[in-house]
Amino acid sequence: MSIRVGIVGYGNLGRGVELALRMNPDMELAAFFTRRAPETLKTLSPAVPVHHVDTLPDFKDQLDVLILCGGSATDLPVQTPACGKLFNVVDSFDTHAKIPEHFANCDESAKAGGKVTLISAGWDPGLFSLQRLMGQCILPNGSDYTFWGKGISQGHGDAVRRVPGVKDAKQYTIPVPQALERVRSGENPQLTTREKHTRECFVVAEEGADLARIENDIKTMPNYFADYDTTVHFVSQEELIRDHSGMPHGGFVVRSGVTGAEGETKQMIEYSLKLGSNPEFTASVLVCCARAVCRMNQEGQSGAKTIFDVPPAYLSAKSGEELRKNLL
């Protein structure tokens, strides 16, 4: 019997989950849940019902797992614990500093409901976290490096769009190639924020706006841009749509360590992602995590979990026997 999945929230991530489920024949998209008026939601799956999110409790026994596709700022801190009392749940909560608090809240509610809630699935947090963990376990004597990009940073784009005179904008985070090369060489450099990444902004200005002032406002913006070498390009709205509508992203996690009696042997583990679409890839991670969550709950587990707690075989629809024979 296939795993019945509900999608909560239908933005880029929800649509990514909808599409990813089509590639996993052991899973079945059973319903969408939205805060909008359900009849107004146009999905890519007209045969799948759309319900209002308030009706979720009615579906308690009809769904094996919910994939929550809301935002980390205000949606998930409330939604995940609330849903986690009634359902197995996966979310992609990505506010790193608030993970311990979110975990504690979700753990309490999931245990109360006898369900499993997997938080912070995706690629960072998620796959990158897993690489950082494994790198430290395998090479305790070493340094971690995480680089992001080249990719669209939603939060930085939002910040640019708030600058007076800016009509629209996109922002790319770009790893500095020389920094990456220094890391790969095994040099174990100490890198400043500025040395690791550059930022590139494509800005559509309002008519008559003072471009020099906009550029200066962006480049000196604390937290977002002041600590980086930032380039600002002014483009037309047409150009922005034509050349910068994708949501590519990616990055690198490197563990550079040493082994040997005197730490004389260099060892390097590098993991990298080159993603044509950040939300579609994140969705793909959420979907296989949803499978794992069902298995963990079936075998009697409950409470909050992260990717660190998932036996990797549980991510797969295949049997242990098949995995050992063909992939080990």
Check residue 209 for interaction with a second copy (CB under 8 A).
no
SS3 112: helix
Are 83 and 109 in contact, with CB atoms under 8 Å apart? no
Check residue 99 for interaction with a second copy (CB under 8 A).
yes
Question: Please, how many CA atoms are within 13 Å of residue 101, restricted to the half-sphere of its CB?
Answer: 9
CA dist 285 and 275 (Å) reads: 13
Check residue 166 for interaction with a second copy (CB under 8 A).
no
Q: Which two tokens stand for residue 305?
A: 């979990």
Interaction with a second copy in 279-298: which residues (CB under 8 A)?
280-281, 283-285, 288, 291
Check residue 100 for interaction with a second copy (CB under 8 A).
yes
Q: Which stretch binds a second copy (CB under 8 A): 4-12, 14-22, 28-36, 56-64?
A: 14-22
CA dist 257 and 255 (Å) reads: 6
Q: Which stretch binds a second copy (CB under 8 A): 58-66, 67-75, 171-179, 313-321?
A: 313-321
Q: Which stretch binds a second copy (CB under 8 A): 158-166, 172-180, 237-245, 301-309?
A: 301-309
Q: Which stretch binds a second copy (CB under 8 A): 155-163, 210-218, 237-245, 307-315?
A: 307-315
Check residue 47 for interaction with a second copy (CB under 8 A).
no
Are 101 and 40 in contact, with CB atoms under 8 Å apart? no
Nearer to a second copy, 230 or 284 (CB): 284
C-alpha distance from residue 204 to each of 60, 154, 207, 230, 263 (Å):
47, 16, 9, 16, 52
The angle at the Cα of 260, spanning 254 to 263, to the nearest 5 degrees, equals 65
Taking CB under 8 A as the criterion, the residue among 1, 37, 47, 261 binding a second copy is 261
The runs of H, that is alpha helices, within 193-315 are 193-196, 211-219, 237-243, 278-298
Expressed in percent and rounded to 5, the helix, strand and coil fractions of the chain are: 40, 25, 35
CA 119 from chain centre, in angstroms, equals 11
CA dist 289 and 301 (Å) reads: 15
Taking CB under 8 A as the criterion, the residue among 16, 70, 149, 151 binding a second copy is 16
Q: Which two tokens stand for residue 269?
A: 């583990």
Q: Which residue has the tokens 């052991």?
A: 26
Q: Which residue has the tokens 């550079």?
A: 256
Taking CB under 8 A as the criterion, the residue among 61, 137, 190, 300 binding a second copy is 137
Q: Which stretch binds a second copy (CB under 8 A): 5-13, 71-79, 210-218, 255-263?
A: 255-263
CA 103 from chain centre, in angstroms, equals 16
CA dist 218 and 223 (Å) reads: 11
Taking CB under 8 A as the criterion, the residue among 96, 162, 194, 213 binding a second copy is 96
Check residue 311 for interaction with a second copy (CB under 8 A).
yes
Taking CB under 8 A as the criterion, the residue among 8, 13, 19, 179 binding a second copy is 19
Check residue 130 for interaction with a second copy (CB under 8 A).
yes
Provide the minimum distance between the beta carbon of 126 and a second copy in the complex, in angstroms, as a whole number.
Answer: 8
Nearer to a second copy, 8 or 283 (CB): 283
Nearer to a second copy, 53 or 273 (CB): 273
Check residue 188 for interaction with a second copy (CB under 8 A).
no
Q: Which residue has the tokens 């024979």?
A: 325
Taking CB under 8 A as the criterion, the residue among 44, 78, 112, 241 binding a second copy is 44
Q: Which two tokens stand for residue 74?
A: 């205000």
Q: How is residue 270 annotated by DSSP?
A: E
* Contact residues: a second copy, CB under 8 A: 16, 19-20, 23-24, 44, 96, 99-100, 103, 120, 125, 127, 129-130, 132-134, 136-141, 184, 259-261, 265-277, 280-281, 283-285, 288, 291, 306-313, 315-316, 320-321, 323-325, 327-328
